[in-house]
Amino acid sequence: MQSVWKSDFSIDMDTPKSTRNYYFEDLSVGQHFETDTHTVSEDEIKAFAAAFDPQPFHLDEQLARDTLFGGLAASGWHTAAITMRLLVDLGIPTGGLIGMGGEIAWPRPTRPGDTLRVASEVLEVTPPRSHTDRGTVLIRNRIRNQHDEVVQEFTGRLIVRRRPMTE
Amino acid sequence: MQSVWKSDFSIDMDTPKSTRNYYFEDLSVGQHFETDTHTVSEDEIKAFAAAFDPQPFHLDEQLARDTLFGGLAASGWHTAAITMRLLVDLGIPTGGLIGMGGEIAWPRPTRPGDTLRVASEVLEVTPPRSHTDRGTVLIRNRIRNQHDEVVQEFTGRLIVRRRPMTE
């Protein structure tokens, strides 16, 4: 199923988002997740850029041609934001997808019309210390376009709640 | 000067953005830059979250109270996007602020009403290899709120054009 976002970034808030919830105990090293896809329109690229990254190669096809990108390209932060949305739509750990940070790389730009999807893998799980209700997991998210090319890789540490004792 | 962004992320594109341009040769290790400030409204936080990170603690003050954040907080990717905008408004290297990637951390969340500013420092400069017109710089951006608390740190590598020989 494709997510549909309006170019002004408003969204139908009644759409059901998360279908799955995870506790820390449900995550293990080597686990894989695959999100739905989202096709990025030229309007979306320009709207995001106008707000957050107003550089010529994110705003104007003509001006973009003479730049390093050689054509209109999405802001890397736009690709990161789309990634987040795809992950949230997939289903979130109970307590939320709370990122502490991580390493991000953009090996190539997102282009108008690109259909993106995220593949995640759990790399490490760090159990909660005693008397706390949350552990951390290290997750690698690879975001690929329709040609199977990686447009972003983010390896980040998330805080995840453990299952309450009373359950 | 404060940037003013509408909550639907539209923006007056006639506003002059960049006042300075840099070539690779204009950057050196230890150089500092300081951006203008931007005050983040509750509406902005919710609008960004609705599009890209629709989790309760980014959307609803009431629901956010019982979460790890203890109140409404901006998506980390929203803080990252605001950072990018402040940097672009400051003035950009000729050829653009083209990020290859880097390390990001969010030591604490951005809250409604927070006034953010970015302080950047050039950590490394890597000259262009022969026959290329661009080098890379490693820059650390620290984003602080009005209490001088760091809400984000990003250390990233940028591609920067060198000054054309003919100039």
Q: pLDDT at residue B10 above 70?
A: no
Residue A5, chain B, CB below 8 Å: the answer is yes
> Model confidence over B141-150: pLDDT tens digits?
999 999 999 9
Please say whether the beta carbons of A55 and A68 come within 8 A: no
Which of A21, A98, A133 to probe the B interface (max B CBs under 10 A)? A98
> Model confidence over B44-59: pLDDT tens digits?
999 999 999 999 999 9
User: What would the mean pLDDT of A151-160 be, rounded to a whole number?
Assistant: 96
Structure tokens at A89: 């739509």
pLDDT at A152: 98
- By Cβ distance, the residue of A10, A55, A101 closest to B50 is A10
Q: How far is A18 from chain B (nearest CA, A)?
A: 9
**For residue A93, what are the CA distances in angstroms to A27, A137, B16, B61?**
9, 11, 43, 20
**pTM for the whole structure:** 0.89
Residue B163: pLDDT band (50, 70, 90) is: confident
Residue B19: pLDDT band (50, 70, 90) is: low
Residue B20: pLDDT band (50, 70, 90) is: low
Inter-chain touch A50–B11, beta carbons under 8 Å? yes
Inter-chain touch A159–B101, beta carbons under 8 Å? no
Residue A46, chain B, CB below 8 Å: the answer is no
> Model confidence over B73-107: pLDDT tens digits?
999 999 999 999 999 998 888 788 899 999 999 99
Inter-chain touch A11–B101, beta carbons under 8 Å? no
Please say whether the beta carbons of B167 and B142 come within 8 A: no
- By Cβ distance, the residue of A53, A68, A159 closest to B84 is A53
Q: Determine the residue of chain A that is closest to B13 in CA distance.
A: A50
Q: How far is B16 from chain A (nearest CA, A)?
A: 11
> Model confidence over A12-65: pLDDT tens digits?
333 445 556 789 999 999 999 999 999 999 999 999 999 999 999 999 999 999
ipTM score assigned to the predicted complex: 0.89
Which range is least confidently modeled, A83-87, A90-94, A119-123, A159-163?
Answer: A90-94
Q: Which structural domains are found in chain A, ordered by start?
A: 21-161 (3.10.129.10)
Inter-chain touch B98–A52, beta carbons under 8 Å? no
Task: Report the amino acid identity of residue B40.
Answer: V
Residue found under tokens 């830059």: B33
Q: How many CB atoms lie within 10 A of CB A100?
A: 15
Q: How far is A155 from chain B (nearest CA, A)?
A: 9
Q: Could you give the CA distance from residue B73 to residue B82 in angstroms, rounded to a whole number?
A: 14
Structure tokens at B99: 């990020």
Which residue blocks in chain B are alpha helix, DSSP H?
42-52, 56-59, 61-64, 76-90
Please say whether the beta carbons of B46 and B8 come within 8 A: no
